[in-house]
Amino acid sequence: MNSTNITKVTTHPTQNEALIFERSQPGRVGYRLPALDVEETPLDELLPGNLRRDDHLEGMPEVSEVDVIRHFTRISTWNYSIDLGLYPLGSCTMKYNSRLNERVARIPGHANLHPLASEEDAQGALQVIYELEQHLSEITGLAGVSLQPAAGAHGEMTGVMLIRAYIDARDGEGASARRRTMLIPDSAHGTNPASANLSGFKVKTIRSTPEGLTDLDHLRELCAVGDIAGLMLTNPNTVGLFERNITEICRIVHEAGGLVYMDGANMNALVGVARPGDMGVDVIHLNLHKTFSTPHGGGGPGCGPCCCTRELEPFLPVPRVIKDEDKFRLDFDRPRSIGRVKAFFGNFGMMLRALAYIQTHGPEGLREATEAAVLNARYIAHGLTADYDKPFEAPPMHEVVFTDKRQSRKGVHTLDIAKRLIDYGFHPMTIYFPLIVQGAMLIEPTESVGRQELDQFISAMQGIAREAAENPELVLNAPHTTRIGRLDEAAAARKPVLRWKPREAASAA
């Protein structure tokens, strides 16, 4: 495969599926409802004309059931997926999504349960929530758990609000008003500063050391200012290294009157091996759609439980699920709570799947998964060191970062390497993150991949390194095997087209 001008078959129906709106044919129907079985109320009596829509939902597609099946089946084949192969996105933990968990979430007694059903009529669901909270508490070593947040960033916001509420209660509103600084490492996920900002904190950035760890001197210096509310830290951090000074870090922050928030995006490196609560962390969010294998679904839904110490527990969102003898009930009477962060109880369907994951693994299986995930990352780190620049010496945990330093001398950059990887049959790694590493390639294989496939990945990366040296054009123009080539993102952002419009309307605009 060395030609950059492979001629593509251009008429293949499965490769040319149009937008559904362009497929629409007047009069096609894809559904059937039972006939109305009550006496009809005259329309004007039902609803005054000025309140009714008069556009006949024009533009919505008219298609048959067969059309819908073909449409989605065809376009689905343009996606990469975990079930197809290694999905080495660092910081995303793309592990196997068990079909058993899908089946569990679809059991009618759970799937058809209304969130406002009375407590007596929803005992099974309340038990699921209660038990999952118990297990996550055990896994993190933190006493209080709320499953209400819908995703990681939502859990972060919840956690940061807990810190704010706790400090306000501890110091009094007036005194705590002087503690409005949240420390965040320069390597953090963008959601951290965004969540801190939502909770009314000013963000100060902590430098990382050349070894890729939090700079303790800088941390001490920032803490000495006396205005810090807390620190938001990812551990293992976003370059895949365990913050070995974590106990000291927590001590420094606590002595300065702050609390430590841990971003749990990387918990897949720790489950069954070490617990944030034992490290001195006060609050953490988990991503059930990462560590606990609930499907990522092309961008969600997630579930972002917030786990915290006993001291912070009174501030968790309402309601809480309480066990009284053998009955479960909802407790709304939580005067110190930060309030509700979402209607109802959170993404219950994800909780079922995560509970099934924990029950399927058992304690030994949970640890085994962590070991396998870290071993796989270590294996890739070992396999790529000869060909790619590895900016940090220390052995990585569940993910490893490389850079394009060597390849960029030939004009081949991280983006090009990522795109070329597609031609070898793999989804690219996370690129240009963390921001502190120039040309970063962050690779997280997870435990869900066997040695043969790891070897294939390593040899693909080695092949690309060779191509970058010998035939850089080949890499620069990649991918060559996909339905479409690289898209002009600048043009798309200059004149955004964010929806389909009927042809006449589109040309008139």
91-110 positions binding another protein, by CB under 8 A: 92, 94-98, 100, 102-110
Task: Give residue 73's Cα distance to chain centre.
Answer: 25
Indicate whether 405 belongs to the interface with another protein (CB under 8 A): no
Interface residue with another protein, options 393, 496, 503, 504 (CB under 8 A): 496
Work out which of 90, 133, 145, 157 binds another protein, going by CB under 8 A: 157
Residue 449 CB burial class (10 angstroms; 0-12, 13-18, ≥19): buried
Least separation, in Å, of the C-beta of 97 and another protein?
A: 5
CA 486 to chain centre: 25
The CA-to-CA distance between both ends of the chain, in Å, stands at 43
For another protein, the binding residues in 331-370 under the rule CB under 8 A are: 338-350, 352, 356, 358-369
Looking at 6, 9, 33, 508, which residue binds another protein (CB under 8 A)? Answer: 33
Amino acid (one-letter) located at 101: N
The sign one gets for the Cα dihedral 394, 395, 398, 399 is positive
Q: Is 191 in the site for another protein (CB under 8 A)?
A: yes
Reported as type and span, the H/E element at residue 348 is helix 348-384
CB of 171 to another protein, least distance (A): 16
Nearest to 252 by CA among 278, 224, 210: 224
- Does residue 257 come out as left (phi exceeding 0), alpha (psi in the -120 to 50 range) or beta? left
411 part of the interface to another protein, by CB under 8 A: no
Q: Does 150 bind another protein (CB under 8 A)?
A: yes
Contact (CB, 8 A) for 157 and 199: yes
Residue 508 engages another protein in binding (rule: CB under 8 A): no
Binding mask 366-395 toward another protein (x if CB under 8 A, else -) reads xxxx-xx-xxx-xx-xx-----------xx
The CB-of-406 to another protein minimum distance in angstroms stands at 20
Q: Is 185 in the site for another protein (CB under 8 A)?
A: no
| Integer Cα distance of 373 and 360 in angstroms | 17
**Best CA proximity match to 288, nearest among 358, 342, 236:** 358
By CB under 8 A, is residue 162 in contact with another protein?
no
As a whole number of angstroms, the distance between CA 165 and CA 395 comes to 38
459 binds another protein (CB under 8 A): no
In whole angstroms, how close is the CB of 72 to another protein at the nearest point? 5
Q: Record the tokens describing residue 188, joined without a space.
A: 């953090």
Burial 413-435 (b: 16+ CB within 10 A, else e): bbbbbbbbbbbbebbbbbbbbbe
Shortest Cβ 477–another protein spacing (Å): 9
- Which lies closer to another protein via its Cβ, residue 349 or residue 469? 349
Residue placing its CB nearer to another protein in the complex, 42 or 217: 42
Q: Is 292 in the site for another protein (CB under 8 A)?
A: no
Q: Hey, which residues between 61 and 90 contact another protein (CB under 8 A)?
A: 61-63, 65, 68-69, 71-73, 75-84, 87, 89
Q: Does 503 bind another protein (CB under 8 A)?
A: no
